[in-house]
Amino acid sequence: MASANYVSPTSSTATPTWRHFERKVDEVKPSKTDMNHLVMDYLVTNGYPAAAQKFALEANIQPVNIASIRERVEIRNAIYSGNIQAAIEKINELNPEILDENPSLHFSLLRLQLVELIRSCTLTPDGDISPALEFATSQLAPRAPTNPQFLEDLERTLALLIFPRENLTPSLAPLLHSDLRRDIYAKVNAAILQSQGARTEALLCDFARLYAWAEQQAREAKKDIPDKLDLGLGDSNSTSNTSQHARGPSQNGTSNDTVMTNNGDIDPMIS
């Protein structure tokens, strides 16, 4: 792999530090097979079936179970579009034990469903809030006493009915942000993968975190490395940006994941 994938030349590229570091990087040459499996792992874990199928053919990798990926894609699309009831039904069709054995995840989905009901009924000043209240009473209220966090989350969510959407407090505004849908789906995706005995996170995420940690340790130890390093995932040139790639979606609602714009693998949250 070219060293440019690891480091970004600066004004000091002609210094001994750069040449020494570049030689060290060139000594580490992951095989093409390893890199192909790393890419395939990302596509499968994050739910890009068409891209995974095409990449398997091009890279001569054993075909993956596309059907299982598409099931997660359908659930993702339902959550991202705000159709939480459909998502819950699809999860139960896939494996009812996922939610039965994870009450916290089930409550999070039901609370998101309540958020979507509130979002819908408060679009107009005189909107009918009774569907949201009925859902909260029948679905969330019985679960709230079982966990202090459940009760707190329910109270915060119901507060959306009191304050105008354009004047929400900093603690309430995130409930109506698209990041909440994305965060809940990430937990659902991990739970599904775990139930299938698969990794719950792409290896690339582990790599990015390890990269950021190693860079931080090297700088704290005052090792002789270039001033700027680049993970090769975009225009990031610092540990902070590397860490952001490891965390996933940014706070402004965009995604650091590569957007699959071909073969139908378009993330509906960012397309």
Q: How many CB atoms lie within 10 A of CB 243?
A: 17
pLDDT value of position 260 = 38
210 and 85 part of one domain: yes
Q: How many CB atoms lie within 10 A of CB 26?
A: 12
Residue 24 makes CB contacts below 8 A (sequence gap 6+) with none
203 and 91 part of one domain: yes
How far apart CA 136 and CA 64 sit, in angstroms, is: 41
pLDDT value of position 205 = 79
What are the CA-CA distances from residue 62 to residues 36, 43, 84, 190, 194 (Å)?
Answer: 11, 14, 34, 23, 22
134 and 86 part of one domain: no
Domain assignment of residue 271, yes or no: no
Domains in the chain, number: 2
Task: List Cβ<8 Å contacts ≥24 apart for 194-203.
Answer: 195/95, 195/97, 195/98, 196/68, 198/45, 199/41, 199/45, 201/45, 202/41, 202/42, 202/45, 202/46, 203/38, 203/41, 203/42
pLDDT value of position 236 = 40
185 and 81 part of one domain: yes
95 and 196 part of one domain: yes
36 and 166 part of one domain: no
Domain assignment of residue 160, yes or no: yes
125 and 153 part of one domain: yes
Domain assignment of residue 259, yes or no: no
Check if the beta carbon of residue 214 is closer than 8 Å to that of residue 101. Answer: no
Residues in the chain: 271
112 and 216 part of one domain: no
pLDDT value of position 115 = 96
How far apart CA 22 and CA 266 sit, in angstroms, is: 37
Residue 151 makes CB contacts below 8 A (sequence gap 6+) with 144, 145
How far apart CA 206 and CA 190 sit, in angstroms, is: 14
147 and 36 part of one domain: no
Q: How many CB atoms lie within 10 A of CB 235?
A: 7
Domain assignment of residue 125, yes or no: yes
Q: What is the domain extent for residue 164?
A: 108-176
78 and 202 part of one domain: yes
Q: Which residue stretches of the chain have pLDDT < 70?
A: 1-19, 21-22, 25-26, 230-271
pLDDT value of position 38 = 85
Domain assignment of residue 144, yes or no: yes
42 and 169 part of one domain: no
Among residues 75, 160, 170, which one has the least CA distance to residue 120? 160
Check if the beta carbon of residue 214 is closer than 8 Å to that of residue 206. Answer: no
195 and 162 part of one domain: no
Domain assignment of residue 165, yes or no: yes
Residue 76 makes CB contacts below 8 A (sequence gap 6+) with 47, 185, 188, 189
Last residue of some domain: 211, 226, 241?
A: 226
| pTM recorded for the entire structure | 0.69
Domain assignment of residue 240, yes or no: no
Domain assignment of residue 63, yes or no: yes
What are the CA-CA distances from residue 224 to residues 10, 21, 58, 228 (Å)?
Answer: 15, 8, 40, 12
